[in-house]
Amino acid sequence: MDQEAGSQTTDGRSVVVCAYTEQRWERLCAAVASAETQLAVNDEIVLVIDTNPDLLDRAKKHFTGATVVANDSNRGLSGARNTGVHTATQPIIVFLDDDAEALPGWLDALTAPFEDPNVVGTGGLVIPAWAHHAPPSWFPDEFNWVVGCSYRGLRKEPGPIRNPIGCNMAFRRSVVTAAGGFADALGRKGTTPVGGEETDLAIRARTDTGGVVWYSPSAAVLHHVDGERTTLSYFMRRCVAEGHSKARIANRVGTVNATASERRHLITLARGLPTRLKAALNERRVEPLTQAAVLVAGTAATGVGFVMEGITSRWMR
């Protein structure tokens, strides 16, 4: 398969953006604007507001070219995305976060692979736009997933993947509907740092259809990382929450499917540890040593979350 930028799908596309807080208003405006400039004749933007009447009224007045609706499903990102899917009128559903901005050529590159009927979903590159123009010195880029961005260890070339990153992905509407949508038991609710709903959906979609999820690196977005997400406390909470999410996914689709990518990523983490220790010794810098420590701590915290959720699930049965 050789589907990259330059070959637009013949299907219409619905770009779904979900928002829940007025604190991101400027980001939301930038996200919608970045998608609007890339729409074709049959395309549309669906903006879903999650349990915020004031934001809903403001959005309806401001985004006159979009379909603006309230989340009519369960509170949280999964419910809002399901509302977007139900509201959308086009066969290809594209998801863009309210704090992300699509780069030129994004929409066509993300949807071009759907020309292949075997493709059920796609994902693109997510570039972090750090609050202070750079990550904290202690932050290892293998853990960029903590802030919802592409991380070291992901494939770089176009090809099949297990699941996309949630702020930059697309699915066939029929596939999402047949799979029952995004799971309400997963996904972010407000500022609670959990996720995994896109992983769960992608695994179920591939299993149900025998199709593939395709990675298109030229479909790129900038994902803004607020200062509050660059603290060590957030990092650790997010790692524990990821462990919880993966355990919940494992309960739904099986441990093999739920942790396949994570087991491969452990190899990347293992390689990053001696590399940083060597750099700390040779270059006499503390930053690589700090990153090595965070690599270990983040991996351990994720494992603790996974085990804790597994114990809790068995206890509640």
- Given this model, what pLDDT does residue 137 score? 94
- Given this model, what pLDDT does residue 149 score? 96
CA 35 – CA 106 distance, rounded (Å): 8
Q: Is the pLDDT of residue 18 over 80?
A: yes
The token pair that represents 89 in the structure block: 């009128």
The answer as to whether 150 is a domain residue is yes
Banded pLDDT at 4 (limits 50, 70, 90): very low
pLDDT one-digit tens code per residue, 139-184:
999 999 999 999 998 999 999 998 999 999 999 999 999 999 998 7
**What are the φ/ψ torsions at residue 68 (nearest 5 degrees)?**
-110, 125
Q: Helix (H, G, I), strand (E, B), or coil: what is residue 89?
A: coil
Q: Is the pLDDT of residue 2 over 90?
A: no
- Given this model, what pLDDT does residue 312 score? 63
pLDDT one-digit tens code per residue, 216-272:
999 999 999 999 999 999 999 999 988 887 777 776 656 555 455 666 666 767 777
The answer as to whether 169 is a domain residue is yes
- Given this model, what pLDDT does residue 260 score? 57
- Given this model, what pLDDT does residue 91 score? 97
Give the burial string for 57-72 (b: 16+ CB within 10 Å, else e).
ebbbeebeebbbbbbe
The answer as to whether 290 is a domain residue is no
Q: What is the DSSP letter of 22?
A: G
Quote the mean pLDDT of the chain.
87
- Domain range enclosing 87: 13-231
Q: Helix (H, G, I), strand (E, B), or coil: what is residue 90?
A: coil
- Given this model, what pLDDT does residue 194 score? 58
- % residues pLDDT > 70 (the chain): 85
- Given this model, what pLDDT does residue 283 score? 84
Nearest CA to 299 out of 256, 277, 274, 269 is that of 269
CA 119 – CA 122 distance, rounded (Å): 8
The answer as to whether 180 is a domain residue is yes
Q: What is the DSSP letter of 185?
A: T
Q: Using an 8 Å Cβ cutoff, are 235 and 298 in contact?
A: yes
Q: Is the pLDDT of residue 6 over 70?
A: no
CATH number of residue 195's parent domain: 3.90.550.10
CA 221 – CA 35 distance, rounded (Å): 10
The answer as to whether 173 is a domain residue is yes
Provide the domain count of the chain.
Answer: 1
Give the mean model confidence (pLDDT) for residues 72-86: 94
Q: Using an 8 Å Cβ cutoff, are 44 and 88 in contact?
A: yes
The answer as to whether 112 is a domain residue is yes
The answer as to whether 149 is a domain residue is yes
- Given this model, what pLDDT does residue 265 score? 64
- Given this model, what pLDDT does residue 9 score? 43
The answer as to whether 68 is a domain residue is yes
Give the mean model confidence (pLDDT) for residues 86-114: 97
Q: Over 254-308, what HEC string results? A: CHHHHHHHHHHHHHHHHHHHHHHHHHHHHHCCHHHHHHHHHHHHHHHHHHHHHHH
Which of 20-24, 94-98, 122-126, 260-264 is least confident?
260-264
What's the predicted TM-score (pTM) here? 0.87
